[in-house]
Amino acid sequence: MASNKRDEGTKKKSSSDSGTSMTSFYWILGLVAVIAIGSVGYSLVGGGFTQAALVAVPIEYENPQELVEMAAGVERGDPDAPITILEFADFQCPACRQFATSVKPEVDLAYVDNGVAKFVFQNFPLAVHPYAFLASRAARCAMDQGGEHFWAYHDQLFINQASWSPNTVPPIAAFESYAQGLGLNEEEFNGCLNSDRHAVAVSAGMELGKLMRVSGTPTIFVSGGGGMATRVTRWQEFAAIQEVVESLMAEKKDAGDAEGQN
């Protein structure tokens, strides 16, 4: 069992008429060094043992920025976009599947594809979902073969969630078959999946979420910069995200107009 320097998770539901609440964004958290405890899992699969990491591993970090870098959020869209939409998600979570298949496509079309916002995905596998950590690693194993493969694999995990989620043993074979279906190098992907690769990044995402008071999934934050973000509680409604994005864009426009008059 390897010990890694880095990575762990939680969702405090807040409700308001607007479906949003304000929270400090991760880059302004006043954090101290934390060690999250976990282990590499060994499970019987198909008559043998897998050394695939199934749960969080130990992590250490000195400051918030180091933790953010360790968590390595997966970005989609223009990295210089004025708006950031951050999701903490669990691949085994039915609500996350709903967001990924129903709401996120609208968000991408309206804001990400045209450069208004970048979308950042952070892993937050919940303890109640035994294969969510493995699924998080699997998507990152796909990303090893090209950034675009993360999102294709992300979609496969959610589309097929009802198939692999009820398994009584870790769905290694199912995850390997999704990689094969996407045309990935099978040997490379399988070697990654059946190891502890990316366990640190996933565990760091869990710790980052915990420090941002995430306790359930999906949790959505929208930020226009400046160290603050809005938590969107009505995540199942595109209109709730749209309201926040449009408000932030209006604020930026007003600020730009005011600056131009000076």
What is the set of domains in the chain, with CATH numbers?
20-261 (3.40.30.10)
| Phi, psi dihedral angles at 221 (to 5 degrees) | -120, 145
Q: What is the mean pLDDT of each run of 10 residues along the chain (262 residues)?
A: 38 42 42 29 41 92 94 97 98 98 98 98 97 98 97 98 96 98 98 97 97 96 90 97 97 73 60
DSSP label at 195? T
Residue range 236-251, pLDDT digits in tens: 999 999 999 999 999 9
pTM comes to 0.82
Residue range 176-200, pLDDT digits in tens: 999 999 999 999 999 999 999 999 9
**Tokens for 225?**
């910069």
Do residues 203 and 134 touch, judged by C-beta distance below 8 A? no
Looking up tokens 């045209």 gives: 114
Query: Tell me, what's the pLDDT at 27?
Result: 40
Spatial CA neighbour of 235 closest among 102, 110, 134, 127: 102
SS3 content of the chain, % helix, strand, coil (to 5): 45, 15, 40
Spatial CA neighbour of 178 closest among 160, 202, 197, 199: 160
Do residues 219 and 11 touch, judged by C-beta distance below 8 A? yes
Do residues 125 and 9 touch, judged by C-beta distance below 8 A? yes
Classified as helix, coil or strand, 73 is: coil
